[in-house]
Amino acid sequence: MKLAILMAANLLLSIPAFIPAPVLAQTRQMVSELGMRLLVPPHWEWRWRDSNEIFINCSPEVTKGFGCALIVTARKAPADQTAITDADRKLWRSGEAATGIRKIVSARDTVLAGYPAYEIIGLDPLRTMRMFVLVPRTGRLYDFAYAAGSPANKNADYYRYKPAVDAVLQTFTSLSE
């Protein structure tokens, strides 16, 4: 019994290292650019990388190596497109696979904040996530790319930051409608 209590106490002491990312996603700053809006934790930093791309640093506390990044790119879609097509899926999968350089772990249709989306999980050697979100009848498509970690820590950072990134993605709103 004492051993079980000690093990439970040790587990509780080790959890705080994994709590910050999801908890920090609760208080937010607004990123309202590219015809869309996201709410991100206040300590995350973001900047323009190009006229149609925003880089969000979801681990500014990491000063050495690579921490966590979420890149949002606004792309054009046919103005009358209302759904993701098989041709879209094929194009995005082939782009993500990069002619065999990256392994695709999974690919699936999903919904993000009420919009049709297609999610691809890749491995190159780090786990990555790409999500393409179509805003129907607007000519807008958003490409979200998420990566975290380094080969040294395997994919621990991917899983550490993923809940916060998912929470941010759920705040996505199109300003184009």
CATH of the domain at 114: 3.40.1000.10
- Tell me the pLDDT band of 10, cut-offs 50, 70 and 90: very low
pLDDT tens for 151-177 read 677 778 888 899 999 999 999 999 987
Q: What is the rounded distance in angstroms from the CA atom of residue 69 to the CA atom of residue 79?
A: 30
Identify the pLDDT of residue 151.
Answer: 66
> Across the chain, what does the average pLDDT equal?
82
Task: Please tell me the total count of domains within the chain.
Answer: 1
- Does the pTM surpass 0.75? The reply is yes
Domain that holds residue 151: 2-174
| Phi-psi sector, 137: left (phi>0), alpha (psi -120 to 50), beta | left
Burial code (b: 16+ CB inside 10 Å, e: under 16) for 38-63 equals bbbbeebebeeeeeebbbbbbbeeee
> 75 near 92, Cβ under 8 Å?
no
Looking at residue 123, its pLDDT comes to: 85
Classified as helix, coil or strand, 93 is helix
Residue, of 72 and 177, whose pLDDT is higher: 72
